[in-house]
Every structure is written in C-alpha cells, then in structure tokens.
C-alpha cells in the first residue's frame, strides 16, 4: 500500500511506494520499442558491411567496416532480411549514379559484393589497354602520385606492388595509381598493375535494369568484365540485386587485434579512416 507523508508545514508529499509490476512492464515496453527501432533502422535506413578483400583499393581496405544506405536505390528482396519478396521486384526503385560505390548480391551465389558503378542502362562500355571507353569516348585517366598501402595482417603486397619501408619505418606496398574521371565529373583513384587479359573488353551495351561495375583495384577485381559465376565474376548486375550505397566508414582494423586483449583492439584500429564518407 502506498504511504503518504506530510512536510513540516503540512503539505502532502508524493507516495513513497511503487508498483513493481508497472515498473517492469514499462521497462519491457521500452525494450520492445527499442528493438523495433533498431530493426527498422537496419532494414530501411543503414546496414553494416565489412570489406573482405582488396578489390576496392585504394579507397577501401580489407578490414574496413562501413554503413550502406538502404533507401537511395529502393528496397528489394536483396536488401530486406529473410529474402522477402516485394510486388514488382523493387519498392521505390532508384538508379545509381556513375561512380557510386554499391553493395549488391552476387547473381549466382548470393554473397555480398562491393564495386563502383561505371556503366548505366543503355551505356556502351568497353576497355582498351586498361582504359575505360564509355559511349565511344575514353574516360579521362591521368597518372597521380604512387599509393602507399600499409602492410598488415589483412593487407598484403600484390604482384603489381613493391614492398618497402616508409619514412616512419613501417612496411608499405607501393602501387602506381591513376585518377579516373567519369562523365558528370565523378573522380576517384584506381590501381593498375600492368597489362592483363582483362584490360581489353569488347564494347557491349548495358541492358535495361542492369549495371556495369568494376573494382578500383583493376587487376585484382572480379567484376562485370567477367561472366557471372559462383565466387568469380558478376557480369551485368541486375538493379534488383542492389543492397545499398556505401556511405561512411565506421571502423577500420589492420587485423592484428587479439580478441582476448581489449587493448589490442585500439592498437589495431586505423583511426584516421573512421568517419570517411564515400
């Protein structure tokens, strides 16, 4: 029973008793609302994604963790949990822009892939000597300063790079880099190790409802230049397979952390990469 008291001047004070059932019920309701908000955020707003390879060097590194915006391209069974199908394939569909970094489901094995959009539906795409030719015109590409990629547990030195020591004594891999600029002005750096069979690609027109995508690490990327095959290339990517647009790096690690040693988590963190927008 609640007990009421009075102050020295006779004014009543609030009841000192509480209803335990009401307190637990309110807390449970708060947890339910919090879970609903988290699930809604995960399904409709942002989704976490980790970079498992070096195909998007130098912009993204193995060990980067980022958020992918779900709403820019609409929602489909590829972007929703439990493989939920939607009427018409996609709800509120949107087409990426050239240069967007997109996450999508592999057309054969369903794994998450991340690449950069080069060609949109109706574009004619070709490669000649490693240079992209879009709608009959070469995409401008100029040499820039070499990229120095720190070597770590999860980042090695590929065949096109040269391992060396940086000024601070750390081990790095030096790669030749180029600045590529798409129609519309979108610009980004790419790596090119030298001549490979994938540097030449006969002109093809991007079919309706699909995209032509490539990795920025051009000689270490299985992308639209290769036929769709499990664990391999992706061919033209259906927009129904889009998961979201890569937006911001929220964490990055060089892979040296010992999960039983919390202090090593911070020593392994690449703090300068956290917060980078894409």
- How many angstroms separate the CA atoms of 186 and 188, rounded? 7
Least confident of 12-26, 188-202, 226-240: 12-26
Per-residue DSSP letter, 13: P
Residue 105 contacts residue 243 (beta carbons within 8 Å): yes
Residue 10 has pLDDT above 80, yes or no: no
pLDDT for 7 equals: 47
The string of pLDDT tens digits covering residues 136-155 is 999 999 999 999 999 998 88
What tokens were used for 84?
């939920």
- How many angstroms separate the CA atoms of 272 and 252, rounded? 9
Is 262 or 65 the better-scoring residue by pLDDT? 65
Q: Are strands 201-205 and 187-191 parallel, antiparallel or unpaired?
A: unpaired
pLDDT for 18 equals: 53
Residue 216 contacts residue 190 (beta carbons within 8 Å): yes
Residue 8 has pLDDT above 50, yes or no: no
CB atoms within 10 A of CB 243: 23
- How many angstroms separate the CA atoms of 222 and 196, rounded? 13
Residue 17 has pLDDT above 60, yes or no: no
For 17-29, give the secondary structure using H, E and C: CCCHHHHHHHHHH
Residue percentage of the chain with pLDDT more than 70: 80
- φ/ψ of 29, rounded to 5, equals -65, -40
Which residues contact residue 68 at a Cβ distance below 8 angstroms, ignoring those fewer than 6 apart? 46, 47, 48, 49, 103, 243, 244, 245, 246, 247
pLDDT for 23 equals: 78
Per-residue DSSP letter, 154: T
Residue 249 has pLDDT above 60, yes or no: yes
Cα 247 vs. chain centroid, distance in angstroms? 7
As a whole number, mean pLDDT of residues 220-226 equals: 96
Residue 116 contacts residue 100 (beta carbons within 8 Å): yes
> Is there a catalytic annotation at residue 23?
no
Predicted confidence band at 237 (pLDDT cuts at 50, 70, 90)?
A: very high
> Is there a catalytic annotation at residue 4?
no
User: Helix, strand, or coil here: 14?
Assistant: coil
The pTM is what? 0.82
The string of pLDDT tens digits covering residues 83-106 is 655 555 667 678 999 999 999 999
What tokens were used for 184?
């519309």
As a whole number, mean pLDDT of residues 70-78 equals: 78
Choosing from 55, 79, 220, 224, the catalytic residue is 55
- φ/ψ of 33, rounded to 5, equals -65, -40
Is 70 or 228 the better-scoring residue by pLDDT? 228
pLDDT for 48 equals: 85
- How many angstroms separate the CA atoms of 239 and 96, rounded? 9
Task: Please name each of the domains of the chain with its CATH number.
Answer: 39-273 (2.10.109.10)
Choosing from 115, 220, 224, 238, the catalytic residue is 115
Predicted confidence band at 77 (pLDDT cuts at 50, 70, 90)?
A: low
Residue 36 has pLDDT above 70, yes or no: no
- How many angstroms separate the CA atoms of 173 and 166, rounded? 9
Is 187 or 37 the better-scoring residue by pLDDT? 187
């Amino acid at each position: 029973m609640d007990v009421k008291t009075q102050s020295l001047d006779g004014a009543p004070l609030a009841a000192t008793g509480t209803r335990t059932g009401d307190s637990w019920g309110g807390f449970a309701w708060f947890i339910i609302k919090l879970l609903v908000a988290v699930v809604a955020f995960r399904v409709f707003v942002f989704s976490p994604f980790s970079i498992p390879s070096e195909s998007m060097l130098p912009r993204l590194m193995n060990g980067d963790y980022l958020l992918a915006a779900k709403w820019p391209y609409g929602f489909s069974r590829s972007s929703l949990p439990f493989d939920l199908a939607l009427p018409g394939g996609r709800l509120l569909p949107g087409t990426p822009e050239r240069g967007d970094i997109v996450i999508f489901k592999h057309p054969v094995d369903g794994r998450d892939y991340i690449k950069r959009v080069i060609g949109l539906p109706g574009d004619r795409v070709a490669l000649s000597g490693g240079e992209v030719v879009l709608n009959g015109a070469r995409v401008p590409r100029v040499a820039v300063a070499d990229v120095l990629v720190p070597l770590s547990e999860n980042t090695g030195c590929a065949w096109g790079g040269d391992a060396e020591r940086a000024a601070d004594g750390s081990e790095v891999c030096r790669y030749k880099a180029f600045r590529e600029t798409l129609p519309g002005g979108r610009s980004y750096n790419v790596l090119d190790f030298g001549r490979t069979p994938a540097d030449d690609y006969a002109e093809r027109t991007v079919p309706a409802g699909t995209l032509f995508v490539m990795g920025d690490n051009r000689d270490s990327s299985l992308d639209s230049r290769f036929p769709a095959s499990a664990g391999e290339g992706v061919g033209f990517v259906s927009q129904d397979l889009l998961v979201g647009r890569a937006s911001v790096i929220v964490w990055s690690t060089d892979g040296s952390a010992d999960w039983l040693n919390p202090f090593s988590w911070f020593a392994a963190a690449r703090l300068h990469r956290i917060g980078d927008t894409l």
